[in-house]
Structure 1
Amino acid sequence: MKLSRKLLMVSAAALLSISPVVAASIPSSNVQAAASKNATTTVLLKRNAYIYNSKGKTNKKAIKKGRSINVNQLKAIGTKLFYRINNRKQYVKAANVGKLTGRKLKLVNKLPGDEGLFNVPKDMQGTWYYIDSYTKKPEKLVIGQNVINNKGYKPELHVMNKHFGDKTNLTKWSRAYRDASRDWSDTSLTKVRGINYVQVIKWGAVGGDGLSYGLHKEAGQPVIVIGTGAKTWTQAVAWKTPELAKENSGKHFKDLDY
Protein backbone atom coordinates (compact mmCIF):
# COMPACT_ATOMS: atom_id res chain seq x y z
CA MET A 1 0.00 0.00 0.00
CA LYS A 2 2.79 2.39 0.96
CA LEU A 3 4.70 1.39 -2.17
CA SER A 4 1.69 2.12 -4.43
CA ARG A 5 1.17 5.51 -2.80
CA LYS A 6 4.84 6.34 -3.23
CA LEU A 7 4.75 5.37 -6.92
CA LEU A 8 1.64 7.52 -7.43
CA MET A 9 3.36 10.55 -5.90
CA VAL A 10 6.47 10.01 -8.05
CA SER A 11 4.33 9.74 -11.22
CA ALA A 12 2.45 12.94 -10.40
CA ALA A 13 5.71 14.80 -9.80
CA ALA A 14 7.08 13.53 -13.11
CA LEU A 15 4.01 14.74 -14.99
CA LEU A 16 4.24 18.17 -13.38
CA SER A 17 7.88 18.47 -14.37
CA ILE A 18 7.18 17.45 -17.98
CA SER A 19 4.07 19.53 -18.78
CA PRO A 20 5.78 22.97 -18.90
CA VAL A 21 8.27 21.62 -21.45
CA VAL A 22 5.47 20.39 -23.73
CA ALA A 23 3.71 23.79 -23.59
CA ALA A 24 6.94 25.65 -24.37
CA SER A 25 7.57 23.48 -27.43
CA ILE A 26 4.46 24.78 -29.26
CA PRO A 27 5.61 27.43 -31.80
CA SER A 28 4.07 30.85 -31.24
CA SER A 29 3.38 31.06 -35.00
CA ASN A 30 0.94 28.15 -34.66
CA VAL A 31 -0.91 29.98 -31.91
CA GLN A 32 -1.12 33.10 -34.09
CA ALA A 33 -2.32 31.08 -37.07
CA ALA A 34 -5.04 29.47 -34.99
CA ALA A 35 -6.10 32.87 -33.69
CA SER A 36 -6.25 34.37 -37.19
CA LYS A 37 -8.53 31.58 -38.40
CA ASN A 38 -11.03 32.46 -35.69
CA ALA A 39 -10.56 36.22 -36.03
CA THR A 40 -13.72 38.25 -36.55
CA THR A 41 -14.13 40.66 -39.44
CA THR A 42 -16.43 43.57 -38.71
CA VAL A 43 -17.77 46.10 -41.20
CA LEU A 44 -19.40 49.44 -40.48
CA LEU A 45 -22.25 50.37 -42.83
CA LYS A 46 -21.86 53.83 -44.34
CA ARG A 47 -25.42 53.81 -45.68
CA ASN A 48 -28.61 51.77 -45.29
CA ALA A 49 -27.96 48.32 -46.76
CA TYR A 50 -30.49 45.91 -48.21
CA ILE A 51 -30.09 42.24 -47.31
CA TYR A 52 -29.53 39.94 -50.30
CA ASN A 53 -29.55 36.18 -50.81
CA SER A 54 -26.79 34.17 -52.53
CA LYS A 55 -28.30 34.94 -55.95
CA GLY A 56 -28.22 38.69 -55.45
CA LYS A 57 -31.96 39.03 -54.85
CA THR A 58 -33.39 41.21 -52.09
CA ASN A 59 -36.74 41.45 -50.31
CA LYS A 60 -35.98 45.13 -49.52
CA LYS A 61 -35.31 44.51 -45.83
CA ALA A 62 -32.46 46.77 -44.77
CA ILE A 63 -29.88 47.21 -42.03
CA LYS A 64 -29.54 50.82 -40.96
CA LYS A 65 -26.56 53.05 -41.63
CA GLY A 66 -24.03 53.16 -38.78
CA ARG A 67 -24.58 49.54 -37.71
CA SER A 68 -21.57 47.24 -37.33
CA ILE A 69 -21.99 43.65 -38.47
CA ASN A 70 -19.73 40.60 -38.38
CA VAL A 71 -18.98 39.07 -41.78
CA ASN A 72 -17.03 35.97 -42.80
CA GLN A 73 -16.98 35.89 -46.59
CA LEU A 74 -16.41 38.16 -49.60
CA LYS A 75 -18.17 36.95 -52.72
CA ALA A 76 -18.78 38.21 -56.26
CA ILE A 77 -22.37 38.02 -57.47
CA GLY A 78 -22.73 39.43 -60.96
CA THR A 79 -20.42 42.45 -61.26
CA LYS A 80 -20.93 43.38 -57.61
CA LEU A 81 -19.19 42.26 -54.43
CA PHE A 82 -21.02 41.18 -51.29
CA TYR A 83 -20.11 40.40 -47.68
CA ARG A 84 -21.84 37.43 -46.10
CA ILE A 85 -23.25 38.01 -42.63
CA ASN A 86 -21.74 35.51 -40.18
CA ASN A 87 -23.30 32.03 -40.28
CA ARG A 88 -26.24 33.18 -42.39
CA LYS A 89 -27.30 32.95 -46.01
CA GLN A 90 -27.58 36.72 -46.08
CA TYR A 91 -25.37 39.28 -47.77
CA VAL A 92 -24.83 43.03 -47.90
CA LYS A 93 -23.25 44.92 -50.79
CA ALA A 94 -19.59 45.77 -50.29
CA ALA A 95 -20.39 49.18 -51.79
CA ASN A 96 -22.43 49.97 -48.65
CA VAL A 97 -19.52 49.20 -46.34
CA GLY A 98 -17.29 51.89 -44.89
CA LYS A 99 -14.70 50.94 -42.30
CA LEU A 100 -13.52 47.33 -42.01
CA THR A 101 -11.78 46.03 -38.91
CA GLY A 102 -10.19 42.66 -38.29
CA ARG A 103 -9.03 40.12 -40.84
CA LYS A 104 -9.23 41.23 -44.47
CA LEU A 105 -11.32 38.75 -46.44
CA LYS A 106 -10.30 37.35 -49.81
CA LEU A 107 -12.71 36.57 -52.62
CA VAL A 108 -14.06 33.02 -52.44
CA ASN A 109 -14.79 32.99 -56.18
CA LYS A 110 -13.57 34.76 -59.30
CA LEU A 111 -14.67 38.21 -60.31
CA PRO A 112 -17.02 38.13 -63.31
CA GLY A 113 -14.99 38.29 -66.51
CA ASP A 114 -11.86 36.91 -64.85
CA GLU A 115 -10.52 33.75 -66.48
CA GLY A 116 -7.72 33.45 -63.92
CA LEU A 117 -4.02 34.28 -63.81
CA PHE A 118 -1.90 34.62 -66.94
CA ASN A 119 1.32 32.59 -66.91
CA VAL A 120 4.30 34.29 -68.53
CA PRO A 121 6.46 31.93 -70.66
CA LYS A 122 9.40 30.67 -68.58
CA ASP A 123 12.08 31.87 -71.01
CA MET A 124 10.88 35.45 -70.45
CA GLN A 125 10.98 35.26 -66.66
CA GLY A 126 13.87 36.81 -64.77
CA THR A 127 15.54 40.20 -64.34
CA TRP A 128 16.34 42.37 -67.36
CA TYR A 129 17.96 45.80 -67.71
CA TYR A 130 17.48 48.76 -70.04
CA ILE A 131 18.24 52.46 -70.34
CA ASP A 132 15.13 54.65 -70.33
CA SER A 133 15.08 56.56 -73.63
CA TYR A 134 13.61 59.67 -71.98
CA THR A 135 15.40 59.92 -68.63
CA LYS A 136 18.58 58.15 -69.83
CA LYS A 137 18.61 56.35 -66.48
CA PRO A 138 19.18 52.59 -66.04
CA GLU A 139 16.01 50.68 -65.21
CA LYS A 140 15.26 47.15 -64.04
CA LEU A 141 12.53 44.96 -65.52
CA VAL A 142 11.53 41.98 -63.35
CA ILE A 143 9.29 39.38 -64.97
CA GLY A 144 7.66 36.74 -62.80
CA GLN A 145 5.16 34.01 -63.52
CA ASN A 146 2.08 36.19 -62.91
CA VAL A 147 3.49 39.69 -62.52
CA ILE A 148 5.71 42.11 -64.45
CA ASN A 149 7.44 44.85 -62.46
CA ASN A 150 8.51 47.74 -64.67
CA LYS A 151 9.74 50.80 -62.76
CA GLY A 152 7.54 49.98 -59.78
CA TYR A 153 4.37 49.39 -61.78
CA LYS A 154 3.58 45.73 -61.16
CA PRO A 155 0.03 44.66 -61.99
CA GLU A 156 -1.11 41.12 -61.33
CA LEU A 157 -1.56 39.45 -64.71
CA HIS A 158 -5.07 38.14 -65.38
CA VAL A 159 -6.99 37.03 -68.46
CA MET A 160 -10.30 38.74 -69.20
CA ASN A 161 -13.09 36.78 -70.87
CA LYS A 162 -13.40 38.23 -74.38
CA HIS A 163 -17.20 38.10 -74.14
CA PHE A 164 -17.32 40.02 -70.86
CA GLY A 165 -19.51 43.08 -71.48
CA ASP A 166 -18.18 46.43 -72.60
CA LYS A 167 -14.58 46.55 -71.39
CA THR A 168 -14.35 50.30 -71.85
CA ASN A 169 -17.45 51.26 -69.83
CA LEU A 170 -16.23 51.09 -66.24
CA THR A 171 -19.33 52.93 -65.02
CA LYS A 172 -21.24 49.65 -65.42
CA TRP A 173 -19.00 48.05 -62.80
CA SER A 174 -19.54 48.57 -59.09
CA ARG A 175 -17.04 50.58 -57.06
CA ALA A 176 -16.18 47.45 -55.08
CA TYR A 177 -15.50 45.56 -58.34
CA ARG A 178 -13.18 48.32 -59.55
CA ASP A 179 -11.39 48.34 -56.19
CA ALA A 180 -10.91 44.56 -56.25
CA SER A 181 -9.42 44.65 -59.77
CA ARG A 182 -7.48 47.90 -59.31
CA ASP A 183 -4.04 46.22 -59.51
CA TRP A 184 -4.92 43.77 -62.28
CA SER A 185 -4.10 43.76 -65.96
CA ASP A 186 -5.94 42.25 -68.90
CA THR A 187 -3.15 40.12 -70.35
CA SER A 188 -2.89 38.32 -73.67
CA LEU A 189 -0.43 37.03 -76.27
CA THR A 190 -0.13 38.85 -79.57
CA LYS A 191 2.26 38.55 -82.52
CA VAL A 192 3.61 41.73 -84.11
CA ARG A 193 6.25 41.77 -86.87
CA GLY A 194 7.30 38.22 -86.05
CA ILE A 195 7.71 38.81 -82.29
CA ASN A 196 5.42 37.15 -79.73
CA TYR A 197 4.44 39.78 -77.18
CA VAL A 198 2.79 39.55 -73.78
CA GLN A 199 0.38 42.49 -73.94
CA VAL A 200 -0.43 44.08 -70.58
CA ILE A 201 -3.39 46.48 -70.44
CA LYS A 202 -4.96 47.84 -67.27
CA TRP A 203 -8.09 45.88 -66.37
CA GLY A 204 -10.96 47.63 -68.15
CA ALA A 205 -8.80 50.13 -70.05
CA VAL A 206 -9.02 50.84 -73.76
CA GLY A 207 -6.81 48.65 -75.98
CA GLY A 208 -3.50 50.25 -76.89
CA ASP A 209 -3.12 51.97 -73.53
CA GLY A 210 -0.77 49.34 -72.14
CA LEU A 211 2.70 47.90 -72.66
CA SER A 212 3.88 44.81 -74.52
CA TYR A 213 6.88 42.60 -73.77
CA GLY A 214 8.36 40.36 -76.45
CA LEU A 215 11.24 37.89 -76.30
CA HIS A 216 13.64 38.49 -79.19
CA LYS A 217 17.33 38.42 -80.14
CA GLU A 218 19.60 41.34 -80.93
CA ALA A 219 23.38 41.27 -81.41
CA GLY A 220 23.26 37.54 -80.68
CA GLN A 221 21.78 38.13 -77.22
CA PRO A 222 18.30 37.37 -75.84
CA VAL A 223 16.40 40.59 -75.17
CA ILE A 224 12.95 41.75 -74.12
CA VAL A 225 11.51 44.29 -76.54
CA ILE A 226 9.22 46.71 -74.69
CA GLY A 227 6.50 48.04 -76.97
CA THR A 228 3.80 50.62 -76.44
CA GLY A 229 0.60 51.80 -78.10
CA ALA A 230 -1.78 50.05 -80.47
CA LYS A 231 1.02 49.53 -83.02
CA THR A 232 3.48 48.18 -80.42
CA TRP A 233 6.18 50.75 -81.21
CA THR A 234 9.51 49.90 -79.58
CA GLN A 235 10.02 51.93 -76.42
CA ALA A 236 13.09 50.13 -75.08
CA VAL A 237 15.15 46.97 -75.37
CA ALA A 238 16.00 45.14 -72.13
CA TRP A 239 19.12 43.00 -71.75
CA LYS A 240 20.34 40.27 -69.41
CA THR A 241 22.99 42.46 -67.75
CA PRO A 242 23.35 46.17 -66.89
CA GLU A 243 26.58 46.20 -68.92
CA LEU A 244 24.84 45.04 -72.10
CA ALA A 245 22.07 47.58 -71.53
CA LYS A 246 24.61 50.39 -71.23
CA GLU A 247 26.65 49.17 -74.21
CA ASN A 248 23.59 49.09 -76.48
CA SER A 249 21.93 52.24 -75.15
CA GLY A 250 20.60 54.52 -77.88
CA LYS A 251 20.92 51.94 -80.65
CA HIS A 252 18.06 51.46 -83.08
CA PHE A 253 17.84 47.96 -84.52
CA LYS A 254 16.68 47.57 -88.12
CA ASP A 255 14.18 44.80 -87.42
CA LEU A 256 12.30 46.88 -84.82
CA ASP A 257 9.89 49.77 -85.39
CA TYR A 258 10.39 52.88 -83.26
Structure 2
Amino acid sequence: MDNNRRTHSKDTNQLRKIEFGPHTLTTEDHQYELHIPDKEYFEKHQKFSNDYLNDTHTWVKVFNNTEPLKGVNYINLIGWTAKGNHQTSYGYTLLDQEPVIILASGQEKITDQVYWKTPELAKKHQDQNFDKLITKAENN
Protein backbone atom coordinates (compact mmCIF):
# COMPACT_ATOMS: atom_id res chain seq x y z
CA MET A 1 0.00 0.00 0.00
CA ASP A 2 1.00 3.57 -0.54
CA ASN A 3 2.41 4.93 2.71
CA ASN A 4 1.31 8.51 2.15
CA ARG A 5 -2.31 8.37 3.29
CA ARG A 6 -3.78 11.48 4.86
CA THR A 7 -7.21 12.46 6.04
CA HIS A 8 -9.24 15.25 7.42
CA SER A 9 -10.74 14.12 10.71
CA LYS A 10 -14.40 15.05 11.07
CA ASP A 11 -13.85 15.74 14.77
CA THR A 12 -10.84 18.06 14.57
CA ASN A 13 -10.73 19.00 10.87
CA GLN A 14 -6.96 18.42 10.92
CA LEU A 15 -4.77 16.45 8.57
CA ARG A 16 -3.61 13.11 9.99
CA LYS A 17 -1.26 10.56 8.51
CA ILE A 18 -1.25 6.75 8.62
CA GLU A 19 1.22 4.38 7.09
CA PHE A 20 0.78 0.67 6.35
CA GLY A 21 3.88 -1.50 6.15
CA PRO A 22 4.05 -5.24 5.40
CA HIS A 23 3.42 -6.06 9.08
CA THR A 24 2.86 -2.67 10.70
CA LEU A 25 0.40 0.17 10.99
CA THR A 26 1.85 3.52 12.03
CA THR A 27 -0.25 6.48 13.10
CA GLU A 28 0.96 9.82 14.37
CA ASP A 29 0.73 8.48 17.93
CA HIS A 30 1.54 4.74 17.75
CA GLN A 31 3.07 1.93 15.78
CA TYR A 32 1.36 -1.46 15.87
CA GLU A 33 2.60 -4.88 14.80
CA LEU A 34 -0.05 -6.72 12.76
CA HIS A 35 -0.46 -10.44 13.52
CA ILE A 36 -2.87 -13.09 12.30
CA PRO A 37 -3.73 -15.03 15.45
CA ASP A 38 -3.82 -18.76 15.97
CA LYS A 39 -7.31 -19.32 17.41
CA GLU A 40 -6.16 -22.35 19.42
CA TYR A 41 -3.50 -20.27 21.18
CA PHE A 42 -6.08 -17.92 22.66
CA GLU A 43 -8.39 -20.81 23.56
CA LYS A 44 -5.55 -22.35 25.60
CA HIS A 45 -4.32 -19.13 27.19
CA GLN A 46 -6.99 -17.23 29.06
CA LYS A 47 -4.63 -15.27 31.30
CA PHE A 48 -1.37 -13.58 30.38
CA SER A 49 1.56 -12.60 32.59
CA ASN A 50 2.46 -8.95 33.05
CA ASP A 51 5.72 -9.60 31.17
CA TYR A 52 3.79 -11.04 28.22
CA LEU A 53 1.37 -8.10 28.25
CA ASN A 54 4.28 -5.64 28.29
CA ASP A 55 6.06 -7.47 25.45
CA THR A 56 2.97 -7.53 23.23
CA HIS A 57 1.36 -4.16 24.03
CA THR A 58 1.95 -2.93 20.45
CA TRP A 59 0.56 -6.10 18.82
CA VAL A 60 -2.89 -6.30 17.25
CA LYS A 61 -4.87 -9.24 15.88
CA VAL A 62 -5.93 -8.86 12.26
CA PHE A 63 -9.05 -10.46 10.78
CA ASN A 64 -10.51 -10.11 7.29
CA ASN A 65 -14.22 -9.42 7.06
CA THR A 66 -16.02 -12.20 5.23
CA GLU A 67 -18.48 -9.88 3.50
CA PRO A 68 -17.90 -6.39 2.12
CA LEU A 69 -20.19 -3.68 3.48
CA LYS A 70 -21.45 -1.36 0.75
CA GLY A 71 -18.62 -2.53 -1.47
CA VAL A 72 -15.90 -1.84 1.11
CA ASN A 73 -13.66 -4.71 2.19
CA TYR A 74 -12.46 -4.23 5.75
CA ILE A 75 -9.75 -5.70 7.92
CA ASN A 76 -10.51 -5.66 11.65
CA LEU A 77 -7.86 -4.86 14.24
CA ILE A 78 -8.26 -5.89 17.87
CA GLY A 79 -5.75 -5.57 20.71
CA TRP A 80 -3.62 -8.72 20.96
CA THR A 81 -4.93 -9.81 24.36
CA ALA A 82 -8.24 -7.94 24.25
CA LYS A 83 -11.32 -9.98 25.09
CA GLY A 84 -13.97 -7.36 24.43
CA ASN A 85 -15.74 -6.43 21.24
CA HIS A 86 -13.91 -3.14 20.69
CA GLN A 87 -12.34 -3.17 17.26
CA THR A 88 -11.02 -0.77 14.69
CA SER A 89 -11.44 -1.48 11.01
CA TYR A 90 -9.72 -0.21 7.91
CA GLY A 91 -11.39 -0.52 4.53
CA TYR A 92 -10.34 0.21 0.97
CA THR A 93 -12.57 1.68 -1.71
CA LEU A 94 -12.78 4.37 -4.38
CA LEU A 95 -14.50 7.71 -3.74
CA ASP A 96 -14.77 10.17 -6.63
CA GLN A 97 -12.51 7.80 -8.62
CA GLU A 98 -9.74 8.18 -6.01
CA PRO A 99 -8.43 5.35 -3.78
CA VAL A 100 -9.17 5.91 -0.09
CA ILE A 101 -8.75 4.10 3.21
CA ILE A 102 -11.71 4.28 5.58
CA LEU A 103 -11.23 4.15 9.35
CA ALA A 104 -14.32 2.71 11.06
CA SER A 105 -15.14 1.93 14.70
CA GLY A 106 -16.90 -0.95 16.37
CA GLN A 107 -18.71 -3.92 14.98
CA GLU A 108 -21.12 -1.54 13.26
CA LYS A 109 -18.30 -0.08 11.12
CA ILE A 110 -19.15 3.53 11.90
CA THR A 111 -17.00 5.68 9.60
CA ASP A 112 -14.67 7.93 11.60
CA GLN A 113 -12.22 9.15 8.98
CA VAL A 114 -11.45 8.92 5.28
CA TYR A 115 -7.77 8.83 4.30
CA TRP A 116 -6.82 10.26 0.91
CA LYS A 117 -3.60 9.64 -0.99
CA THR A 118 -2.37 13.24 -0.75
CA PRO A 119 -2.96 16.23 1.52
CA GLU A 120 -4.34 18.11 -1.48
CA LEU A 121 -7.06 15.50 -2.05
CA ALA A 122 -7.90 15.50 1.67
CA LYS A 123 -8.28 19.27 1.68
CA LYS A 124 -10.33 19.20 -1.53
CA HIS A 125 -12.81 16.73 0.00
CA GLN A 126 -12.81 18.03 3.60
CA ASP A 127 -16.39 19.31 3.43
CA GLN A 128 -17.76 16.42 1.37
CA ASN A 129 -20.62 14.41 2.86
CA PHE A 130 -19.92 10.66 2.91
CA ASP A 131 -23.35 9.45 3.99
CA LYS A 132 -23.06 6.63 1.44
CA LEU A 133 -20.51 4.95 3.73
CA ILE A 134 -21.58 2.53 6.44
CA THR A 135 -23.35 3.95 9.48
CA LYS A 136 -24.68 2.26 12.58
CA ALA A 137 -28.30 2.74 11.51
CA GLU A 138 -27.69 0.93 8.21
CA ASN A 139 -26.25 -2.12 9.95
CA ASN A 140 -29.25 -2.69 12.23
| Map of 2:54 onto structure 1 | 179
Structure 1 residues not aligned, in runs of 5+: 1-123
Could you tell me how far apart the structure 2 residues matched to 1:222 and 1:244 are? 10
C-alpha separation in 2, matches of 1:185 and 1:234:
20
SS of aligned partner of 1:160: coil
Residue 83 (structure 2) aligned to one of 193, 199, 206: 206
Deviations along 1:174-214, one digit per CA (max 9) or x if unpaired, are: 11211221110011211441321121111111354232111
1:229 corresponds in structure 2 to 106
Which one of the candidate residues 39, 42, 46 is aligned to 1:165? 42
- Identity among equivalent pairs (%): 29
Q: TM-score, normalised by structure 1?
A: 0.47
CA distance in 1, matches of 2:43, 2:18: 32
Q: Which amino acid aligns with 1:174?
A: S
Query: Structure 2 length normalisation: TM-score?
Result: 0.84
Paired AA for residue 188 in structure 1: F
CA distance in 1, matches of 2:16, 2:72: 22
Aligned pairs for 1:103-118 (under 5 A) are none
Counterpart amino acid of residue 127 in structure 2 = G
Matched-pair contact (CA < 8 Å) for 1:199–1:210: yes
**Structure-2 residue corresponding to 1:138:** 15
Give the Cα–Cα distance (whole angstroms) in 1 for the partners of residues 8 and 44 of structure 2. 33
CA RMSD between the two structures: 2.1
> 1:168–1:206: 8 Å Cα contact kept in structure 2?
no
- Cα distance in 2, alignment partners of residues 219 and 250 from structure 1: 14
With CA pairs under 8 Å and 6+ residues apart, which has the higher RCO, 1 or 2?
2
Output the CA distance in 2 between the equivalents of 1:173 and 1:215.
34
Shift in CA distance, 250/153, structure 1 to aligned 2, threshold 3 Å: farther
Please identify the structure whose Cα radius of gyration is greater: 1
Give deviations 1:51-110, integer Å, cap 9, x for gaps: xxxxxxxxxxxxxxxxxxxxxxxxxxxxxxxxxxxxxxxxxxxxxxxxxxxxxxxxxxxx
Report the count of equivalent residues: 133
1:151 CA drift (Å): 2.6
- The secondary structure found in structure 1 opposite 2:89 is strand
Indicate whether 1:195 and 2:72 are aligned.
yes
Q: Which amino acid aligns with 2:109?
A: T
Gaps of 5+ in 2: 136-140
